[in-house]
Amino acid sequence: MKMVNLVKSKLKLLIAFGYLFLPKLLIAEGTDFSGDRGGDGLRSPIIYTDINSLLTAILDLVIRLGGIVIAIAIIYSGFKFVEARGNKTKIQSARDNLLYVVIGAFIILGAVVLKEIISETVSSIQSAV
């Protein structure tokens, strides 16, 4: 019984070390930071080189997350309509909620237009310089 407890404790310790150090070993396996062994050396982690690509990436994220939030909010508004059951104040509250969701959806979709305006302005400023 004492031997079983000792084996269990050693196994738990081995698993804990595996969780802690295995990811570091796996990440370090393919990493070559030296430029003298044929590697590229250290590279910049910044992948967006101009304002247009940065705004596009941010806008894509906002549209994806906003689409999910808008879908959930529309479903919630539908539940509020069903829950109202003819009560005029609750129906008005559900209508207001749905109106706010639609306004938010137009704002998120209007961000595409705003991105185009900003990118065109920045590109015209850059071409003038």
Q: Which pLDDT score, from 0 to 100, does residue 94 have?
A: 92
What is the spatial distance between Cα 69 and Cα 59, in angstroms, rounded to a whole number? 15
Query: Per-residue pLDDT tens for 81-125?
Result: 999 988 999 999 999 999 999 999 999 888 888 888 887 888 888
Looking at residues 14-21, what average pLDDT do you find?
72
Query: Per-residue pLDDT tens for 41-53?
Result: 667 777 888 777 8
Which one-letter amino acid corresponds to residue 25? L
What is the spatial distance between Cα 129 and Cα 125, in angstroms, rounded to a whole number? 6
Question: Residue 35 pLDDT more than 60?
Answer: no
Q: Which pLDDT score, from 0 to 100, does residue 81 have?
A: 92
Question: Residue 29 pLDDT more than 90?
Answer: no
| Predicted confidence band of residue 5 (pLDDT cuts 50, 70, 90) | confident
Per DSSP (E only), the strands in the chain are: none
The whole-model pTM stands at 0.56
Q: Which pLDDT score, from 0 to 100, does residue 16 have?
A: 77
Query: Per-residue pLDDT tens for 53-79?
Result: 887 888 888 888 988 999 999 999 999
Q: Which pLDDT score, from 0 to 100, does residue 28 have?
A: 53
Are the CB atoms for 72 and 66 separated by under 8 Å?
no
